[in-house]
């Protein structure tokens, strides 16, 4: 299939994949494979089956309704047996590009001039509103408020819908949020507020000294401009989440539990706490 090229067996952390019997079977046959604890499980963009093969099988096997489960199984087995190996090779060859893209986009930073930072931060914490606008939410519920006796710290259970033929993913995580006041000071300047700016002789315009003098004058004027800026009171909203274990939220058959998850979000106003416009920094990761 791979023309004697080296290949590695990739699997995510679905229960059947991370089962000890599966791991032992692969190791006993000296198959080169990525162990489930070393691979981000919730990563359909990095799995050829997820981003290419299953879509092809679904198109072939589910082009028409099936009267029962056995009919669907039969159709899937036939579609898998008839799959073109060129399709498989193309999907695998596309993997390095996708890996680089995922690494590049691991975090996000942006500035948004049309939205109030307080409103944006509030939306991130409003579970009822999230369920209303996010079609991918299968379930989102508060497990415990003021967790561990800390105000603003909440334990949540979140289940995400995945495409047909895939199991949903669910998360149990503890989230903490807090807002801070930030007093922005003007940039430091030299004490030249009452000094008249020097005049530049037109005859010196082309000399090296004139260029240096002109640059110094521009810097001076810039510093004077900064000195006239008023102090600005801004807000910073920080939302931090990480996975946790809760015996009162057991795993279910229809969802794969993401056992390692973390997320950091920083939302900062730019021109005052009540002004529209904010910057956002967000970083997250997951592993099952």
148, part of any domain: yes
Whether residue 252 sits in one domain with residue 147: yes
Whether residue 237 sits in one domain with residue 180: yes
Of 269, 281, 275, the closest CA to residue 181 belongs to 269
Predicted pLDDT at 232: 73
Q: Are 286 and 44 in contact (CB under 8 A)?
A: no
Predicted pLDDT at 154: 94
Whether residue 167 sits in one domain with residue 256: yes
Instruction: State the CB neighbour count (10 A cutoff) for residue 269.
Output: 23
Of 12, 40, 9, 156, the closest CA to residue 106 belongs to 40
Q: Rounded CA gap, 169 and 142, in Å?
A: 17
193, part of any domain: no
**0.85 exceeded by pTM:** no
User: Domain boundary at 46, 71, 103, which?
Assistant: 103
Q: Rounded CA gap, 269 and 275, in Å?
A: 7
- The contacts of residue 215 (CB under 8 Å, 6+ apart) are none
71, part of any domain: yes
**Residue 108, class by beta-carbon neighbours within 10 Å (0-12 exposed, 13-18 middle, 19+ buried)?**
exposed
Predicted pLDDT at 113: 73
User: 198 φ, ψ to 5°?
Assistant: -70, 150
Whether residue 134 sits in one domain with residue 59: no
Whether residue 143 sits in one domain with residue 28: no
Whether residue 77 sits in one domain with residue 162: no
Of 233, 222, 228, 225, the closest CA to residue 184 belongs to 233
Whether residue 91 sits in one domain with residue 48: yes
- The contacts of residue 132 (CB under 8 Å, 6+ apart) are none
57, part of any domain: yes
Whether residue 98 sits in one domain with residue 57: yes
Q: Rounded CA gap, 123 and 117, in Å?
A: 10
Give the CATH number for residue 98.
Answer: 3.30.420.10
User: Domain boundary at 71, 103, 135, which?
Assistant: 103
Domain extent at residue 85: 15-103
Tens of pLDDT along the chain (288 residues) come to 555 666 777 776 677 777 888 888 888 887 777 666 666 655 666 778 777 888 888 888 888 889 999 999 999 999 999 999 888 888 888 877 777 666 555 555 666 777 788 888 888 889 998 888 888 899 999 999 999 888 889 999 999 988 766 788 999 999 999 888 877 654 344 433 433 444 444 444 445 556 665 666 676 666 665 555 566 788 888 899 999 999 999 998 888 888 888 888 888 887 777 776 666 655 555 554
Q: How many domains does the chain have?
A: 2
55, part of any domain: yes
151, part of any domain: yes
Helix extents (H) in the chain: 15-18, 20-28, 48, 54-61, 69-81, 85-93, 95-104, 117-125, 127-133, 208-227
Strands 276-287 and 107-116 turn out to be antiparallel
Whether residue 243 sits in one domain with residue 173: yes
Whether residue 155 sits in one domain with residue 249: yes
Q: Are 180 and 235 in contact (CB under 8 A)?
A: yes
216, part of any domain: no
Instruction: State the CB neighbour count (10 A cutoff) for residue 18.
Output: 19
Q: Rounded CA gap, 81 and 75, in Å?
A: 10
Whether residue 92 sits in one domain with residue 120: no
Q: How far apart are the first and last CA of the chain?
A: 30
User: Domain boundary at 44, 77, 103, which?
Assistant: 103
In tens, the pLDDT along 259-286 reads: 888 888 888 887 777 776 666 655 555 5
283, part of any domain: yes
Give the CATH number for residue 147.
Answer: 3.30.530.20
Whether residue 133 sits in one domain with residue 65: no
């Amino acid at each position: 299939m791979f023309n004697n090229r080296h290949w590695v067996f990739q699997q995510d952390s679905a229960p059947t994949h991370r089962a000890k019997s599966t791991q032992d079977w692969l190791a006993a046959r000296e198959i080169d494979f990525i162990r489930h604890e070393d691979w981000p499980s919730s990563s359909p963009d990095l799995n050829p089956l997820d981003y290419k093969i299953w879509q092809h099988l679904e198109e072939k096997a589910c082009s028409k309704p099936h009267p029962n489960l056995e009919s669907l199984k039969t159709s899937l087995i036939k579609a898998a047996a008839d799959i073109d190996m060129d399709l498989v090779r193309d999907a695998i060859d596309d993997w390095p590009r996708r890996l680089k893209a995922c690494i590049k986009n691991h975090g996000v930073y942006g500035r948004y001039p049309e939205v109030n930072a307080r409103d944006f931060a509030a939306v991130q914490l409003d579970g009822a509103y999230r369920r209303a606008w996010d079609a991918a939410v299968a379930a989102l519920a508060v497990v415990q408020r003021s967790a561990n006796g800390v105000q603003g710290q909440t334990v949540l259970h979140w289940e995400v819908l995945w495409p047909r033929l895939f199991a949903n993913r669910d998360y149990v995580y503890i989230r903490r949020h807090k807002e801070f006041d930030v007093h922005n000071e003007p940039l430091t300047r030299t004490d030249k507020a009452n000094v008249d700016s020097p005049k530049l002789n037109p005859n010196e315009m082309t000399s090296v000294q004139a260029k240096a003098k002109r640059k110094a004058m521009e810097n001076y004027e810039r510093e004077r401009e900064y000195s006239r800026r008023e102090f600005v009171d801004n807000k910073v909203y920080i939302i931090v989440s990480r996975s946790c274990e809760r015996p009162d939220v057991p795993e279910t058959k229809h969802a794969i539990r993401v056992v390692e998850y973390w997320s950091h979000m920083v939302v900062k106003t730019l021109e005052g706490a009540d002004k529209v416009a904010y910057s956002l920094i967000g970083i997250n990761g997951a592993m099952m």
